[in-house]
């Protein structure tokens, strides 16, 4: 039996299986892959990891470095303005 899916006004295609993946990802990130695997009823963690848990790709927080660059550039511009 195939379950219906929903298409929003923004063109998103959402299926019931998407919610299952969301649960898998949320449980794995909050607890462990083993817990997510158990919640989803998988025999092993490999299926859960491969198909149900979205990988986190966290970029380093570079706000401090960028702020320092902006501060230095502003100071350099101010110094140039005083020279003229």
Residue recorded with tokens 């990130």: 29
Spatial contact of 6 and 19, defined as CB atoms under 8 Å apart: no
3-state secondary structure of 3: coil
Q: Torsion-angle region of residue 9: left (phi > 0), alpha (psi -120 to 50) or beta? A: alpha
C-alpha to C-alpha distance for 64 and 77, rounded to whole angstroms: 20
* pLDDT-derived band at 7, boundaries 50, 70, 90: low
Q: Could you tell me if residue 3 is inside a domain? A: no
pLDDT of 21-69, one tens digit each? 999 999 998 999 999 999 999 999 999 999 988 776 666 677 888 888 8
Domain with 67, as residue range(s), is 16-82
Counting the structural domains of the chain, the total is: 1
Confidence (pLDDT) at 8: 56
Confidence (pLDDT) at 46: 94
Q: Could you tell me if residue 9 is inside a domain? A: no
Strand-pair category, 6-7 with 13-14: antiparallel
């Amino acid at each position: 039996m195939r379950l219906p899916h929903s298409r929003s006004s923004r063109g998103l295609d959402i299926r019931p299986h998407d919610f299952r993946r969301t649960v898998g990802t949320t449980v794995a990130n909050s607890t462990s892959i083993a817990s997510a695997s158990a919640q989803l009823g998988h025999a092993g963690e490999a299926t859960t990891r491969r198909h149900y848990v979205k990988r986190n790709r966290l970029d380093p927080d570079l706000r401090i470095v960028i702020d320092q660059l902006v501060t230095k550039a502003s100071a350099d511009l101010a110094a140039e303005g005083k020279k003229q």
